[in-house]
Amino acid sequence: MNQSDIVIVGSGITGTALARELSRYDASIVVLDRGYDVAEGATKANSGIVHAGYDAVPGTQKAKFNVLGAKKYAALCAGLHVPYRKCGALVIGFCEEDRITIEQLYRRGVLNGVSGLRIVSRDEALQMEPALNPAVSCALFVPESAIVSPYELAFAMADDAAANGVRFIFGESVIAAARRGGTWEVETARGSRYACRVFINCSGSSGAEIHRMVCGTRLKMIHRRGQYYLLDRSAALPFSRTIFQCPSSMGKGVLVSPTVHGNLLIGPNAEDIADPLDTATTSGGLASVLEKAVKTWPSLSVRSNITNFSGVRAHLETDDFMVGPVPGAEAAFEAIGIESPGLSSAPAVAEELSALVAESIGLKKKKEIVPYCPPAKPFSAMTDGERKNAVAQDAAYGNIVCRCETVTEAEIRNAIRRPVGATTIDGVKRRTRAGMGRCQGGFCSPRVARILSEETGIPLCEITKSGGNSRLLSGTVDEFLKGAAEND
């Protein structure tokens, strides 16, 4: 049995933020995740928006954490060297009903404490964003709205936590959690057992299931899938701000937004599905995204689409987050039902929850914290002078592995050597952007696989795209033919 003070289930944006906060205390901490890397669930597949906080109903957990969390983002991302940009947003309306919604959003925003909100006229909206549908009638301008790379933030927070002693264990799906003799005993699908003083449920899609293991209460959780288009990077994106349509009961609707890396993101639709791990895209879902997005962007074109993806949000029937001690359970905490604005809220959720946990078992702050050591600046972001120096110091900077995103061998090796390093092709991709570009890894994936194999000692045939059984290759050419010959 693996002993620790704290077990956190889930290494999404909330779990990693919490692990990082708790790593400042004198405590042994284990993070368990079903996936094979940090941020494999909703964190890797959402809109990447730090919402200002005008949408959440005043008085809800969502409203409180959103506004608090959003205010922490600029400093958090700067400290962790994570791409973040306050690009602003417009919520656009087309009719009288929309105007009423927009006015309501404005009032909510003011009540929630969001600064800088302003309702702008059609003309001003079109002046700000000339590619907008000219049928727009008015818009809410949200200067505080920002964009971030959610999984890169999770990686950075995980690295920071790990450097300060937190252990991340992947491929661990929790199947039981029980309180015995003042200790939580946690069991996973592959038979590992963990004992801890405090158990924290930060699981996204399994949030309700684990909640029930801990306190016996059944919660109704709806798995709501959203599909996206991601268009190629371009110096001339049609929009410089995030453009929302008026929200509905199913969520914030289809947005069109630049990303921090200069792509254009279009989505999501919203459909309730049975299997929270079903992140497939569907022809119907993708069609509905376009059908809605064209209302924002009449000259919409997906000719430069480079990938489609979908993410599943964990929606509680109560339509609010559950953050705090698990009711009716001892030494158990949770942050569940974390759908939008969960990304925006994570820093605030982690701060509040870590304080509660620390107080509950009397944790003391560490005297010394290992300062965060960010990955070196990406080669693609370096000046010519910096590039020259980088290659002079490490020849691996002279080997461009991903030509679409200009990612070097040095960056890939470094990503594998991080505290919570990449072990898969997707892990390298999300940490370095190798394979994120217009050829989608066609050129670099064989090369990345070789580097992964060299760095980790895993044979090339066992390198996976995303862990588990997602192997890239099925054998060497000669073995394979011999096998086929024997089968004849």
Catalog residues that contact other proteins under the rule CB under 8 A. 229-230, 277, 279-283, 285-286, 302, 305-309, 384, 387-388, 390-392, 395-400, 403-404, 406, 438-443, 445-446, 460-461, 464-478, 480-485
**Shortest distance (Å) from residue 437 CB to other proteins:** 9
Nearer to other proteins, 141 or 397 (CB): 397
Nearer to other proteins, 323 or 404 (CB): 404
Name the catalytic one among 51, 211, 223, 315. Answer: 51
Q: Rounded to 5 degrees, what are φ and ψ at 187?
A: -120, 145
**Shortest distance (Å) from residue 132 CB to other proteins:** 24
Angle at 16 between CA 12 and CA 22, to 5 degrees: 150
Contacts (Cβ under 8 Å, ≥6 apart) of 458 = 423, 452
Nearer to other proteins, 149 or 279 (CB): 279
Nearer to other proteins, 51 or 465 (CB): 465
**Shortest distance (Å) from residue 487 CB to other proteins:** 8
Q: Which two tokens stand for residue 275?
A: 């299997």
**Shortest distance (Å) from residue 351 CB to other proteins:** 34
Nearer to other proteins, 128 or 473 (CB): 473
Q: Which two tokens stand for residue 341?
A: 């604005």
DSSP of 196-212, one letter per residue?
EEEEEE--STTHHHHHH
- Dihedral of alpha carbons 297, 302, 304, 307, sign: positive
HSE-CB for 423 with a 13 A CA cutoff: 18
- Dihedral of alpha carbons 116, 121, 122, 123, sign: negative
**Shortest distance (Å) from residue 368 CB to other proteins:** 38
Residue carrying the six token digits 């059944």: 218
Do residues 357 and 363 make contact, with C-beta atoms less than 8 angstroms apart? yes
The verdict on whether 51 is a catalytic residue reads: yes
Strand partners, 223: 273, 314
Nearer to other proteins, 210 or 436 (CB): 436
**Shortest distance (Å) from residue 475 CB to other proteins:** 5
- Helix H or strand E encompassing 18: helix 13-22
Distance CA 79, CA 275 (A): 37
Amino acid identity at 126: L
- The catalytic residue positions are 51
